[in-house]
Amino acid sequence: MSVLRELRSLPNMLSVLRLLLVPVFLYLLLSGDHYIWALIVLTFAGATDWLDGQIARKFNQMTKLGQVLDPAADRLYILATIVGLTINGTIPLWLAVVIVSRDVMLLIVYPILATHGYGPLPVHFLGKAGTFALLYALPLLLMADIWPGADFIILPLAWGFTYWGIGLYWWAGFVYVKQVYELIFARARKSL
């Protein structure tokens, strides 16, 4: 299936739309006066993330392009939200560093896979669960800025999802590194 043909599937079009909305979301978040609109865009992105996966599975529209676009959109929303919330002072810098460091670790690992002839690894359940938790935590942290009177309800939920997300996110990262090591090590043993 060609890339253009894959791009025309509804799940991939939704992923592209999410990618195009990342700068819009970041602008709204950083402009200071548009937090509610930023939250609406982020919520829409989360809903389309869920929807594209449902459509892809139900109508057998899973594609290689979708396997790249969907996680890329997730990563970019997480990164954009972290950058925006850190600049706005909503979250501490250490939280941004901890989350982004995991993705930096994987950015180092993926070229190693490519140099040994492997494509991206399939998404692991732990990675999905960690991303899911962070995609709940970050909007909740934004909501706490929008409605400070509800902090006593929102913040415990937000930080609960944050800590679970960080733990699962890093656990999945170590699983991916282990898989890469085993693939390359197994291939090296076979060549001996």
What is the structure's pLDDT at 192?
A: 62
Q: What local confidence, expressed as pLDDT, does residue 112 receive?
A: 85
pLDDT in tens, the chain (192 residues): 577 777 788 888 999 999 999 999 999 999 988 999 999 999 999 888 888 888 888 988 888 888 888 888 988 998 999 999 999 999 999 999 999 999 899 888 888 888 888 877 777 899 889 988 998 999 999 999 999 999 999 999 999 999 999 999 999 999 999 998 888 877 666 766
pLDDT of residue 79: 92
- Find out whether 98 and 130 touch, Cβ atoms under 8 Å: no
> What pLDDT is attached to residue 33?
84
**Cα–Cα distance for residue pair 106/74, rounded to 1 Å:** 15
* pLDDT score for 72: 87
- Kindly report whether the global pTM for this prediction surpasses the value 0.75: yes
pLDDT given for residue 117 in this prediction? 81
3-state secondary structure the chain: CCHHHHHCCHHHHHHHHHHHHHHHHHHHHHHCCCHHHHHHHHHHHHHHHHHHHHHHHHCCCCCHHHHHHHHHHHHHHHHHHHHHHHHCCCCCHHHHHHHHHHHHHHHHHHHHHHHCCCCCCCCCHHHHHHHHHHHHHHHHHHHHHHCHHHHHHHHHHHHHHHHHHHHHHHHHHHHHHHHHHHHHHHHHHHHC
Inter-residue contact 102 to 167 (CB < 8 Å): no
**In the prediction, which pLDDT does 141 show?**
94
Backbone angle region of 122, left / alpha / beta, with phi > 0 → left and psi within -120 to 50 → alpha? beta
pLDDT at 1: 54
Contacts of 149 (CB under 8 A, 6+ apart): none
